[in-house]
Amino acid sequence: MSRDKHKLLRVDPERLWRRHIDMSKLGSTDRGGVNRAALTIPDVELHLELASWARERNFEVEIDDYGNQFMRRAGSEPQCHALVSGSHSDTQPTGGRFDGISGVLAAMEALEVIDDAQICTRHPIEVVVWNNEEGTRFSPSDMGSAVYVGQTPIERMLAATDDEGVSMAIAVNTLRASIDWAIERQLGTPISAYLELHIEQGPILENENIDIGIVTGIQGTRKFEVRITGEEAHAGTTPESNRQDAFMDAVKVVNALQEIFFDPEDKVRFTIGRFEVSPGSLAVVPGHVLFTIDFRHPENTVLQILGDQIAEVCKKTATRCTTQVVETRSAPSTLFGNVVQEVIEECAKQRTYSFKYLPSGAGHDARYMNSFCPTGMVFVPCRKGISHNEKEYASPDSLAKGAQVVVDSLLMLDGLI
Ligand code: HGY
Ligand code: MN
Ligand code: MN
C-alpha cells in the first residue's frame, strides 16, 4: 500500500499559486521582485506565517540555534528519522518571487495534502526553511544547512554581522521571540532523506519543454574578497607618477583575472558582483577598492588550479598598491546518489511528466544535505532561465507539477527507507 498510496493524492494548484503571490508581498519591490534578506522583518513575518499554518494542523514547529525552522507532521514509527523537504526563504536584493520559496511552499503543500488525506506515514515528514542561503545580509551564504550538518562551526556564523552591525545571533533571537512557542531543534538531528524543489535558474527545461529536472549534482564554488589599498590624494595636484591609485590598479587586476579565467568551452563562471571604490569622491584619487569574486566550475581540479592563482595575480598586477585576497567560501562539486533520484524519476513517470537529468549551476542547501543523508533535487522550469532578477517567473502549472512530484516522492520514500 505504502508504495502506491500517493497515487490518489492531488496537490491544490490554486492554493500553491496563491501562497506564492502572498509570500512575494513580504519584501516586495516596486519592480515586481522581492528583497527579503535573512531574518529581516519580512522574512520573520514569512516564518511566522508558515508556523501559524503548521500550528493550525498541530504540526510541531522547531527552531534550531542557527534559526533554521522545521514544521513536523508526526509519523507512526517514532524511531524513524524524519523525511525532510524544503529550501530557503531569503532572497537577493533584486531577487525574484520563486527562488527558494518555491521549495518551501511545495514542501508545505505536500504536508497539507498528506494531512488532508489523513495518510499515516511511518516517518515523520518535515518542512524546513533554511536560514541565510543567499548570504546577502550575513556572509557567507548557505550557512543554515552548512551549520546544521556540522560543516561550519556555529559560533563564527552567529557572530557574523550585517551592515548595521547586527549579529546573526541577535537576528535568530528576534525570530525565536516572534515564534516563542516553537520548540528547540538540535543541530544535526538525523534525517532519513532530504528532497528540495527549486526553479532551475537556467534555460534548459523551458527550452526543451521538460516538466521535471532531476538534479545530478551541484557544481563547486570558491568565493573571494579582494582589497586593493593605495593612498588617497588630490586629483588636481598629484602627478600620475606619484599616485597610488587603487582604482587604476584594480582595473589592471580585473583585466589580468579575466585572462586567467577565460574559458573557450564557457564552463567557467567568473563573476565580480560587487565593486566598491572609496572614498568615492570626484576630486580624490581612490585609496581603496573592494571587489568580490564568485567563481564556479563543475570540476574540482579546475576550481583548485584557477582559484589558487588569484592572490598571486593580484599581487603581481597591482604595481602601485598593496592587495589582500580573502577566500570567504569554498565548496567542492557534489554528485547526488541514486536513492532519491530514482524515486523522483519513478514518480515523474507515474504522472506521465517529461523529465531530464541535469546538473545545477546554482548553489543550494541540498549541497550540504548531500553529505548528511540521501538527498535529491527536483527542478521546475523558469521563464528564459532568468533568476537573481526581479523578472524571475515560474508558471502555476510548472510549480504544481513539481509539488506533485514532491508529494509522491516523499510518500514513496516513506515506504522505501
Ligand atoms: O548563488 C547561488 O547559486 C544561490 O542562488 N544562492
Ligand atoms: Mn539564489
Ligand atoms: Mn535558491
The SS3 assignment for 93 reads: coil
Q: Which domain holds residue 37?
A: 3-219+333-416
200 ligand 1 Cβ < 6 A: no
Helix and strand numbers, DSSP H then E, in the chain: 13, 17
Compute the chain's Rg from CA coordinates. 23
Do residues 190 and 255 share a domain?
no
Distance in Å, CA 5 to ligand 2 centroid: 34
In Å, how far are 17, 142, 415 from 353, measured between CA atoms? 19, 31, 22
The full length of the chain comes to 417
Q: Which atom of ligand 1 is nearest to the CA of 201?
A: 5
92 ligand 1 Cβ < 6 A: no
345 ligand 1 Cβ < 6 A: no
Do residues 69 and 147 share a domain?
yes
Measured distance CA(48)–CA(97) in Å, rounded: 18
Contact 141, 132 (CB under 8 A): yes
Last residue of a domain, one of 331, 352, 375: 331
362 ligand 1 Cβ < 6 A: yes
Distance in Å, CA 330 to ligand 3 centroid: 17
Distance in Å, CA 353 to ligand 2 centroid: 26
Nearest partner of 51 among 151, 162, 183, 168, judged by Cα: 183
Specify the CATH number for the domain of residue 22. Answer: 3.40.630.10
User: Which helix (H) or strand (E) is 338 found in, with range?
Assistant: helix 338-350
Do residues 397 and 372 share a domain?
yes
Nearest partner of 94 among 144, 30, 160, judged by Cα: 30
The SS3 assignment for 79 reads: coil
Residues with CB under 5 A from ligand 3 (ion): 99-100
Measured distance CA(217)–CA(337) in Å, rounded: 9
Do residues 99 and 59 share a domain?
yes
Q: Which atom of ligand 1 is nearest to the CA of 100?
A: 5
141 ligand 1 Cβ < 6 A: yes
100 ligand 1 Cβ < 6 A: no
Do residues 146 and 248 share a domain?
no
Strands, E assignment, 230-384: 233-234, 269-271, 275-278, 284-285, 288-297, 322-331, 334-335, 355-360, 375-380
Specify the CATH number for the domain of residue 260. Answer: 3.30.70.360
| Cis before 286 (ω within 30) | no
- The count of structural domains within the chain is 2
Tell me the best of 145, 270, 364 to mutate to test the pocket of ligand 1, counting ligand atoms within 8 Å of each CB and taking the most. 364
Do residues 353 and 285 share a domain?
no
Do residues 165 and 291 share a domain?
no
Last residue of a domain, one of 331, 356, 382: 331
* Tens of each residue's pLDDT in the chain, 417 residues: 445 655 679 999 999 999 999 999 999 999 999 999 999 999 999 999 999 999 999 999 999 999 999 999 999 998 999 999 999 999 999 999 999 999 999 999 999 999 999 999 999 999 999 999 999 999 988 899 999 999 999 999 999 999 999 999 999 999 999 999 999 999 999 999 999 999 999 999 999 999 999 999 999 999 999 999 999 999 999 999 999 999 999 999 999 999 999 999 999 999 999 999 999 999 999 999 999 999 999 999 999 999 999 999 999 999 999 999 999 999 999 999 999 999 999 999 999 999 999 999 999 999 999 999 999 999 999 999 999 999 999 999 999 999 999 999 999 999 999
Measured distance CA(55)–CA(394) in Å, rounded: 29
Do residues 323 and 339 share a domain?
no
Q: What pLDDT score does 1 carry? A: 42
- Of all protein residues, the one whose alpha carbon is nearest to atom 6 of ligand 1 is 134
Measured distance CA(270)–CA(274) in Å, rounded: 13
Q: Which atom of ligand 1 is nearest to the CA of 135?
A: 6
- Of all protein residues, the one whose alpha carbon is nearest to atom 4 of ligand 1 is 363
Distance in Å, CA 133 to ligand 2 centroid: 7
Q: Which atom of ligand 1 is nearest to the CA of 362?
A: 3
133 ligand 1 Cβ < 6 A: yes
Do residues 49 and 78 share a domain?
yes
Do residues 69 and 82 share a domain?
yes
Distance in Å, CA 175 to ligand 3 centroid: 21
Phi and psi torsions of 344, nearest 5°? -60, -45
Do residues 291 and 365 share a domain?
no
Do residues 237 and 169 share a domain?
no
Q: What pLDDT score does 4 carry? A: 60
